[in-house]
Chain A
Amino acid sequence: MRKLLKPREREQMLGTAYAFPMGIWFTLFFTIPLGIIVLYSFLKRGLYGGVEWEFTLDAYKQMFNPSFGRVVIRTLWISVLATLGCILIAIPCGYAMAKSKYQTVLLFLIIIPFWTNSLIRIYAWISILSTEGFVNSLLIKLGLIDQGLKLIYNNGAVVLVLIYMYLPFAILPLFTTIDKFDFSLLDAARDLGASKLEAIIKVMFPNIKSGLSTAFIFTFIPIFGAYTVPLLVGGKDSTMIGNIIVDQVSKTRNWPLASAFSMVLTFISLVGVFWMLYNGKREQMQSKKTTQQSLEQNIKKHHLIRGEK
């Protein structure tokens, strides 16, 4: 006799079936390559690239080379600075957009740059910042300086262009949460004695926390793995982890080391994502707990009243 499935079970089976093609895609092009990277990071480097099938921790040991350490630290501070820059600019932008009558137009304007290749946009910055570029020639014409300033090929330029590249990723999530924010709360805070700034810090920020953490993750992770920006607008001392990986793959041909650095990037990104997930979960748990508490309280009260009667 064939066992009949309950509707719920059938739905679950169907759900699995629908997810199947996607599962294959991700396994083939995402999980397996990632597995290869993990595997390679524990193998011995081949003489002319590639690997030899011999387990070793050499790659991870090599990472503690002080010259790499400097790069890791630089990558960290450049990423933190650029991410903070993105978020600091994105908050007022998101606020203005949420309050604006022309939301769709502004949203559109933010999305437009995505239609242009990122390399082209970086080259545009090079022509703006270079010694004979737009900014310098303007300043010279205005008579403010005699000689072109050195605006490019340094860490400052890297941070600036990174902020430019990843700003939309911070604006979009912040805009959506600020748009849902109840602005009458700001009126209430002002009414209760808060200054404009106090109202924003004490009432708006806690209520757009999810947008802030999403913006942080969306900008920090790609910036942390940046490669083209430091390569094109950075100077000698602007190398970031992404550049090391490329060098190790293509020039030095130390694939295990490249894999090990990739592992570091992946690991730090994962920490970020888990932190975000954990934050969201904790908030949910908190509200669940209090709902349950109040429910129990109500039941207790109910019994008390009935008991008295």
Chain B
Amino acid sequence: MSVQIKKGEFFSLLGPSGCGKTTLLRIIAGFDYPDNGKVEFDGKDILPLAPDKRQSNTVFQTYALFPHLTVYENIAFPLRLKHVDKEEIDKKVKEYVHLVQLDDHITKKPSMLSGGQKQRVAIARALINEPRVLLLDEPLSALDAKLRQNLLVELDELHDKVGITFIYVTHDQSEALSVSDRIAVMNKGKVLQIGTPYEIYEAPATRFVAQFIGESNTFPCTVLSCEPYENEFMIKVDVPMLGGTVSVTDYDALEVGSKLDFTVRPEKVRITSTPPRSTNKELNTYKGIVDEPVYSGFQSKFYVRLDNEQKSIVKVFKQHTAFLDDGPEIDWRDTVYVSWTATDGYLVKDTDR
């Protein structure tokens, strides 16, 4: 498997903990050495180079700020190593301190800074060498949710300002989806899919990607028929757990009889207390009972137990908006109808196992 990262790109490595994304980053940085494989930079093999000879700098998960040095000295550290003259160092450090908005804190030691401030020092220190690639190892994981959101936006702005390549390691899919130009989804040391956030979310390549990114309802299925439909193909699949045939569209023609996974995202499923009225012919509708409603502020999540032999559960998200056609409020044990159109579901290969 080979990954190519373009110049100036915000590229994320996304995967569950222990999937090898940090190891990959450490190999790129030069702290770890792979058993086989190559890391090329501008077409040149950089594996023989020590970390200090590579054109990348790292922002560590634990920040790794030098506790004996002040903010100023931490940021000046790479320049002092290069014996840059004093005035030049002073000018540049102040420029980068300003870039990360730490002007008031330059005389403090790292132990006196908040998590977010430490993070910024780490970023300024990594950028001052003007690397061509900035490696970020879960830089926001130690911060609280609100701060994480703010820093993520700042990071995105910073990327636009400095214009170098960012390689960002994270296990948080929402972080990756919101800032990346492209994402590589990894599991168990393998890259499963590389694509834009939109592609990863809307067209996951494998069952793992579909389940790891966002939430999904996934059921095994068998292809029954495949016919051209507008620019795509209309595929009928037999989904035993849903108790029947489901129509779904796909860009590729699929062989009749192939075993796949049928997936539909909970937010694409509609939940109503009366049978849905729709002009869409390819609407898949199922009747069921609300097994458990979960209220979470801006939306509710419903676990609906279908009225069939398997008693399968379908997850549904419902936004709390006040549309006229919302109907009466849905509660526990209500009989409901869940429905989705053929274009909202998709088929994925179960290649992970």
Contact B111 A193 (CB under 8 A): no
Query: Are B112 and A291 neighbours in the complex by a CB distance under 8 Å?
Result: yes
The size bracket of the interface on A is 20 to 34
CB of A189, distance to nearest CB on chain B (Å): 8
* Contact yes or no, B68 A290, CB < 8 A: no
Residue from the set A192, A193, A195, A290 with the largest chain B CB neighbour count within 10 Å: A192
Is A294 interfacial (CB 8 A cutoff)?
Answer: yes
Decide if B144 is an interface residue (CB 8 Å cutoff).
no
- A interface secondary structure, majority: helix
| B324 in the interface (beta carbon within 8 A) | no
Chain A residue at minimum C-beta to C-beta distance from B125: A192
- In angstroms, Cα B129 to Cα A153, docked, is 57
Residue A146 is within 8 A (CB to CB) of chain B in the complex = no
Binds A, one of B55-63, B150-158, B245-253: B55-63
Number of residue pairs A-B, CB distance < 8 angstroms: 75
Q: Is A14 an interface residue (CB 8 A)?
A: no
Task: Give the distance to chain B from A205, nearest Cβ to Cβ, in Å.
Answer: 9
Question: Do residues A192 and B57 form an inter-chain contact, with CB atoms below 8 A?
Answer: yes
Kindly state whether residue A89 has any CB partner on chain B within 8 Å: no
Residue A54 CB within 8 A of the other chain: no
A74 at the interface (CB under 8 A from B): no
Distance, CA A206 to CA B68, complexed state (A): 7
A192 x B129 contact (CB < 8 A): yes
Find chain A residues with CB under 8 A from B108 CB.
Answer: 290, 294
Per-residue B-contact encoding for A175-198, CB less than 8 Å = 1, 0 else: 000000010110111111111001
Contact A188 B78 (CB under 8 A): no
Give A195's nearest chain B residue, CB to CB.
B52
B112/A191 in contact, CB under 8 A = no
Contact residues of B between 53 and 83, Cβ < 8 Å to A = 56-58, 60, 62, 64-68, 77-78, 81-82
Q: Contact: B109 with A290, CB < 8 Å?
A: yes
B112 touches A188 (CB 8 A): no
Q: Is A287 an interface residue (CB 8 A)?
A: yes
User: 13 A-B Cβ contacts within 8 A?
Assistant: A184-B64, A187-B31, A187-B58, A188-B58, A190-B31, A190-B51, A191-B30, A191-B126, A192-B77, A192-B78, A193-B81, A290-B112, A291-B112
4 nearest A-B pairs in the assembled complex, by CB-CB distance: A188-B64, A192-B78, A206-B68, A190-B51
